């Protein structure tokens, strides 16, 4: 019987949407197939590459933290990402409700970050260069030497050196090779001016090459006796203190002649600086050569003759020399004049005051006896003086107690910073050792200071809060190649260094385990991924049970 033919329109094929569970089942099966195709070598390569990348990040973060004291990732996130996310801009004007005390504290913090000339700085030729010849290390940084060059130009030159209005009607120019020397008519004869620095010396102070500076100084001396030329040779060419002293005596002779002549012209500001500088360095030469009493007399005469030139801090040179003579009564007299609340402090002032008070009790001090009977009045005064000194500069005790190695002090220091601590301890460690029990008392009491100031960057006890700029400035002043800059308060490791260290260790361990046990680690990887996607599957099932199938179909199509 023939089959019945079907008449009518052909059947239409309608698309039946897949259920969400079927879509999820397909995704899971695809994921499972993908995981099954991965070989153990893939997991080894994946974990090894992750460990390598995180290790490189860790090394870079650690280097950046040691060099700049902060995390690179945190700095980038604060500087660039925070403004994009709507964070507060630190450069915006402060709130009008800021108290006057906070403003004063801010101004004080800025002033304490000023870099000062080290009053006990060494001689470049006779001391710094000899250290370089022996060790092959450069004790001075370029930043420090550049500041010294600026100081010399400030002390030994002035804006009107080329031509002063008072000399405008009686000047002539004598040309020598490539330099122009200003000359002033005195009566009927023409003499090179001692009032104004020679143009060749102005160039010499700006030279970066030491040999070029020395050559320029010799060239200036061929023209005329120039005090500043002798100063430059004494500082940089002389290889011994005796040779430097000889050159400074020649500079003193020329400087006094210029000073007397400039007094008549009433233009002696620069020549006063030259004369004071020469006499102070001569006193330091006497101190280094063992003629301490002569050095003390020279310093006292200098302070009496020029009482207003406090920028040279000659009293700190005097204190060190008096301590060498063990003339503690005169040390106390100098402190009574300069350890005043209205005058700026220094590590020399604070720690010398602490040493004198410790000297009265240190020879009989015993921490065990003090804990049983309590501190006497004199012992309490000594401990308070030590706490005051440590609060001003917390870096000094580690050098005095020889917990940290000393280096040659820089030519400039930052008050309350590591550079000032090195400069103080370099010259005064011997004075603390000479006082019996002083270092023992310091060792027993100095750390107690930090319990009194738990937040030193926010609030101090006897001084303003500790400035936050000291670390940056000290890294510029000190040779960080062979010296680790002391940081206060001690910084904790940034989060990203700890995070990258943990990530590097974890991925390295995974790479090792995958290489040793490939099959077992493959099972663990599949189980981990299944567990990772389990919450997503649960959420999808809940969404499927709640939403209508038609709506779910539209969402899957989207």
* Per-block mean pLDDT, blocks of 10 residues, the chain (558 long): 50 49 53 63 73 78 70 68 53 42 44 80 92 91 90 71 40 34 35 52 82 88 85 92 94 85 67 88 94 94 83 88 94 89 85 93 84 85 93 94 93 92 95 93 88 81 83 89 84 66 75 75 75 78 70 64
For 210, residues 6+ apart whose C-beta sits below 8 A from its C-beta are 124, 236
**Angstrom distance (rounded) from CA 208 to CA 216:** 12
Beta bridge partners of 185: 190
What pLDDT is recorded for position 103? 44
What pLDDT is recorded for position 83? 62
What pLDDT is recorded for position 198? 57
Residue 9 has, within 13 A of its CA and on its CB side, a CA count of 3
What pLDDT is recorded for position 36? 63
What pLDDT is recorded for position 204? 83
**Angstrom distance (rounded) from CA 381 to CA 135:** 43
**Residues for the chain: how many in total?**
558
What pLDDT is recorded for position 231? 92
**Angstrom distance (rounded) from CA 535 to CA 145:** 65
3-state class of 256 per DSSP? helix
């Amino acid at each position: 019987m023939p089959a019945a033919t079907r008449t009518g329109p052909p059947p239409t094929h309608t698309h039946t949407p897949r259920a969400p569970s079927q879509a999820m089942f397909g995704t899971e099966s695809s994921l499972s197939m993908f995981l099954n195709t991965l070989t153990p070598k893939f997991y080894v390569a994946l974990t090894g590459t992750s460990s390598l990348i995180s290790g490189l990040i860790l090394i870079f973060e650690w280097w950046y933290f040691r060099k700049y004291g902060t995390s690179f990732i945190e700095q980038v996130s604060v500087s660039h990402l925070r403004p994009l996310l709507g964070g507060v801009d630190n450069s915006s004007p402060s709130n009008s409700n800021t108290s006057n005390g906070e403003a004063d504290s801010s101004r004080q913090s800025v002033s304490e970050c000023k870099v000062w000339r080290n009053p006990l700085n060494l001689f470049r030729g006779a001391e710094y260069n000899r250290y370089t010849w022996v060790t092959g290390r450069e004790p001075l940084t370029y930043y420090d030497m550049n500041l010294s060059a600026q100081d010399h130009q400030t002390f030994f030159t002035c804006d009107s050196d080329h031509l002063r209005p008072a000399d405008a009607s009686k000047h002539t120019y004598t040309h020598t090779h490539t330099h122009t020397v200003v000359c002033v008519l005195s009566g009927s004869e023409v003499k090179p001016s001692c009032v104004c620095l020679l143009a060749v010396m102005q160039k010499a102070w700006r030279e970066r090459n030491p040999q070029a500076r020395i050559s320029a100084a010799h060239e200036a001396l061929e023209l005329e006796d120039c005090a500043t030329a002798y100063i430059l040779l004494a500082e940089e060419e002389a290889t011994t203190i005796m040779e430097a002293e000889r050159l400074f005596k020649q500079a003193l002779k020329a400087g006094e002649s210029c000073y007397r002549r400039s007094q008549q012209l009433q233009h002696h500001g620069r020549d006063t600086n030259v004369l004071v500088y020469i006499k102070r360095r001569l006193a330091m030469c006497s101190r280094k050569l063992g003629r301490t009493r002569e050095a003390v007399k020279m310093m006292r005469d200098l302070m009496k003759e020029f009482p207003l030139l406090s920028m040279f801090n000659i009293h700190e040179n005097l204190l060190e020399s008096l301590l060498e003579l063990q003339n503690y009564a005169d040390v106390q007299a100098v402190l009574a004049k300069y350890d005043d609340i209205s005058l700026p402090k220094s590590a020399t002032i604070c720690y010398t005051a602490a040493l004198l008070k410790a000297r009265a009790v240190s020879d009989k001090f015993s921490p065990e006896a003090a804990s049983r009977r309590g501190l006497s009045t004199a012992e309490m005064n000594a401990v308070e003086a030590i706490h005051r000194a440590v609060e001003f500069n917390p870096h000094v005790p580690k050098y005095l107690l020889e917990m940290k190695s000393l280096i040659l002090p820089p030519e400039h220091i930052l008050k309350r910073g590591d550079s000032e601590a090195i400069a103080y301890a370099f010259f005064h460690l011997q004075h603390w050792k000479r006082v019996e029990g002083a270092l023992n008392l310091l060792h027993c009491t100095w750390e107690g200071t930090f319990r009194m100031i738990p937040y030193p960057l926010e609030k101090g006890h006897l001084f303003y809060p500790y400035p936050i700029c000291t670390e940056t400035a000290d890294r510029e002043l000190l040779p960080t190649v062979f010296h680790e800059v002391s940081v206060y308060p001690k910084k904790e490791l940034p989060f990203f260094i700890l995070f990258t260290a943990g990530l590097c260790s974890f991925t390295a361990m995974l790479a090792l385990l995958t290489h040793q046990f490939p099959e077992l680690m493959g099972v663990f990887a599949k189980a981990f991924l299944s567990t990772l996607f389990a919450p997503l599957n649960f959420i999808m099932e809940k969404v499927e049970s709640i939403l209508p199938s038609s709506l779910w179909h539209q969402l899957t199509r989207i």
